[in-house]
Amino acid sequence: DFYNETMAKIFLQYYENTTRVVWNRFMEASWNYVTNINQQNLEEMLLKDMERSQHMLFFGTQARLFKIARFQDPVVKRMLSKLQNIDKAALPKDELREYNKLLAYMETMYSTAQVCMNEGPCLPLQRDIEEVMATSRDQKELLWAWQGWRDAVGPQVRMTFERYVQLSNKAAKLNGYEDMGALWQSTYKSDTLEQDLEHLYQELQPLYLNLHAYMRRALHRHYGPELIDLRGPIPAHLLGNMWAQSWVNILDLVLPFPKKPLDDITRNMKVQHWKPEKMFIEAENFYTSLGLLSTPPDFWRKSMMERLADGREVECHASAWDFYNGQDFRIKKCTEVTIEDLFSIFHQMGHIQYFLQYKNLSVIFRAGANPAFEEAVGLVITLSVFSHKHLLNKGLLSHQHQDSEEEVNFLMGIALDKIAFIPFAYLMDLSRWKVFDGTIQKDVYNQEWWRGPLACAPPIPRTEEDFDPAAKFHISASMPYLRYFLSLVLQFQFHEALCKATGHMGLLHRCDIYNSKMAGKLLEDVLKLGSSKPWPEVLEKITGETKVSAKAIMTYSKLLNWLVTENVQQWEILGWPDFSCYFEEKE
């Protein structure tokens, strides 16, 4: 019959040649929009998105006609099965147009929202409002920023979000899935995904609860009992981050050994006149020191490394872009000279390195082994960078050695960034899956959002007039978040494997893979596979294991012993037994 294996190969070649052009045009139009938000660029992006969806619909429908089960070539089978999930392109044309418009609306609302002072200027999230959340120690000011941001975004997108859920589920059903949450989970091709995640979360619970108890004690000292209930959750606006997802900005408030403060690396960067471009060069230098690929000329010519100062609206949430032509790769970031942004650049360069490594694969395989792999690459490098004396010795660290007290302070810094993230990252999609599968109905979106074990503590009562989930980029941008939870665990598993490859024998948190061609080779062998192999196979290539395991992050977090000792001495209560979520129903 016509749809035989030989025809399949011709069909796939035709797909390859047409896809590069269609996707390149779509990426260009998307880039033009997010780096210059206006009506004209929106129309152009929606048009190119339509073209891309028509293309996906045609090839996805055709791909279903091949009898894959009877085929021999595993690559052809894998390619055809990947083509069959066409996501939103399965929607009828008019609904697809509506869906694309509401997606753009929510993401743009988030990207252009500002918090206005009573009399005076309105401030954007990046970097003014985020700066307040990171540096202010005045709880009234923190509350103003925290509430102001949620008021600026939430109510405006709530209705749109409800329609977004309906259309998402319709698209998922047209692809053969129960709902959009099931479609998102299918990316990981695992029928034990939910229990595996639950298991990982349980394993990491002691780490998080002990850190939480320690933080609460320290914040109780600083803000006093009227703000901090030692048997309750921590008010979310005091943790140094708009979403309480990383607590590293308040390390100074909770330093275990205050007489041994860590260097203020951001200050050192500013004192030494670091510029955004130097931050990108430093990041690239680390990757090439491992023998990995450097970025092509287009990268430096076409990236947006700083917010453009001509008054245009841009989407500041950082991202890395593949233009599917083998030489055009870009990063879009509103870079500030801070250590936080230096790590973010390493993260984005991790995406770029993946693009570079798999650029010669079929366009169907130009993705990570799974989305968590894509997120983990840059994070693995930052684990070396932060423990990496050489880079920090570029004057960013004043002294070489770390005595044991400084080491605890250092580990606390890492824990505040990585361990605090665990419940946030785990909960983001657990609650969204419930929204998609209908467990959480739209009349209780907001209260259910706060019910998770996040520490469940809005600083002021929240009602269903609010829509706090939208205050986080990935919710407004319909971007899955599970990848970040899994990449948090994966990055330590990778770090352990790469450190072993470099012959590092000591403690994991002192390992630094800079200049190691062995570690680079191990990474390269994984990255250049793209998504051409099942991800457990790829994981085994680098770590020898086929399952995501929390062992490495637990090994790394030696700090737990110190924390438990500290908490036991203080007779700390773990968790927040006093607390049940309260909600004022608006009369």
The entry of Zn ion, ligand KAF, none near residue 319 (CB within 5 to 8 angstroms by kind) is: ligand KAF
Total residues in contact with Zn ion, by rule CB under 5 A: 1
Site string for ligand KAF, 516-535 (x = CB under 6 A): --------------------
Backbone angles phi, psi at 534, to 5 degrees: -60, 140
Give bridge partners of residue 123 from the DSSP assignment: 115
DSSP state of 321: E
- Return the amino acid letter for 565: T
Among 479, 560, 573, 581, binds ligand KAF (CB under 6 A): 479
Tell me the residue nearest to ligand KAF as measured from the CB. 319
Q: 479 or 554: whose CB is closer to ligand KAF?
A: 479
Using a 10 angstrom Cβ sphere, with 0-12 exposed, 13-18 middle and 19 or more buried, the burial of residue 327 is: exposed
User: By the 8 A CB rule, do 52 and 23 touch?
Assistant: yes
Shortest spacing between CB 27 and ligand KAF, in angstroms = 11
Regarding 322 and contact with Zn ion (CB under 5 A), the answer is no
Peptide bond into 127 cis (omega under 30): yes
Tokens in use for 578?
A: 């006093």
Shortest spacing between CB 374 and ligand KAF, in angstroms = 4
Regarding 418 and contact with ligand KAF (CB under 6 A), the answer is no
Q: Could you give the 3-state DSSP secondary structure of residue 319?
A: strand
Distance of alpha carbon 20 from alpha carbon 11, whole angstroms: 15
What's the distance, Cα to Cα, between the start and end of the chain in Å?
68
Q: 345 or 435: whose CB is closer to ligand KAF?
A: 345
Print the SS3 string covering 391-447: HHCCCCCCCCCCCHHHHHHHHHHHHHHHCCHHHHHHHHHHHHHHHHHCCCCHHHHHH
Distance of alpha carbon 538 from alpha carbon 526, whole angstroms: 6
Regarding 147 and contact with ligand KAF (CB under 6 A), the answer is no
Of 180-188, 344-352, 436-444, 561-569, the segment contacting ligand KAF by CB under 6 A is 344-352
Q: 210 or 348: whose CB is closer to ligand KAF?
A: 348
Q: Could you give the 3-state DSSP secondary structure of residue 477?
A: coil
Shortest spacing between CB 317 and ligand KAF, in angstroms = 6
Regarding 374 and contact with ligand KAF (CB under 6 A), the answer is yes
Q: 109 or 479: whose CB is closer to ligand KAF?
A: 479
Of 153-161, 187-195, 477-485, 564-572, the segment contacting ligand KAF by CB under 6 A is 477-485
Among 36, 84, 147, 319, binds ligand KAF (CB under 6 A): 319
Shortest spacing between CB 179 and ligand KAF, in angstroms = 21
Tokens in use for 109?
A: 């609302």
The entry of Zn ion, ligand KAF, none near residue 317 (CB within 5 to 8 angstroms by kind) is: ligand KAF
Nearest CA among 520, 471, 469 for reference residue 499 = 520
Distance of alpha carbon 352 from alpha carbon 294, whole angstroms: 9
Q: 410 or 484: whose CB is closer to ligand KAF?
A: 484
Q: 22 or 420: whose CB is closer to ligand KAF?
A: 420
Q: Which of residues 482-501 bind ligand KAF (CB under 6 A)?
A: 484
Regarding 318 and contact with ligand KAF (CB under 6 A), the answer is yes
Tokens in use for 425?
A: 């990252």
Regarding 347 and contact with ligand KAF (CB under 6 A), the answer is yes
Backbone angles phi, psi at 116, to 5 degrees: -100, 135
Site string for Zn ion, 344-383 (x = CB under 5 A): -------------------------------x--------
Distance of alpha carbon 463 from alpha carbon 540, whole angstroms: 47
Among 53, 348, 353, 384, binds ligand KAF (CB under 6 A): 348
User: By the 8 A CB rule, do 76 and 8 touch?
Assistant: yes
Distance of alpha carbon 133 from alpha carbon 541, whole angstroms: 41
Regarding 32 and contact with ligand KAF (CB under 6 A), the answer is no
Regarding 174 and contact with ligand KAF (CB under 6 A), the answer is no
Regarding 345 and contact with ligand KAF (CB under 6 A), the answer is no
The entry of Zn ion, ligand KAF, none near residue 113 (CB within 5 to 8 angstroms by kind) is: none
- Long-range CB contact pairs, 277-282, < 8 A, 24+: 277/305, 279/335, 279/337, 279/341, 279/342, 279/345, 280/305, 280/331, 280/345, 280/349, 282/342, 282/391, 282/394
Nearest CA among 220, 172, 286, 345 for reference residue 515 = 286
Interacting residue ranges for ligand KAF, rule: CB under 6 A: 245, 317-320, 347-348, 351, 374-375, 477, 479, 484
Q: Catalog residues that contact Zn ion under the rule CB under 5 A.
A: 375
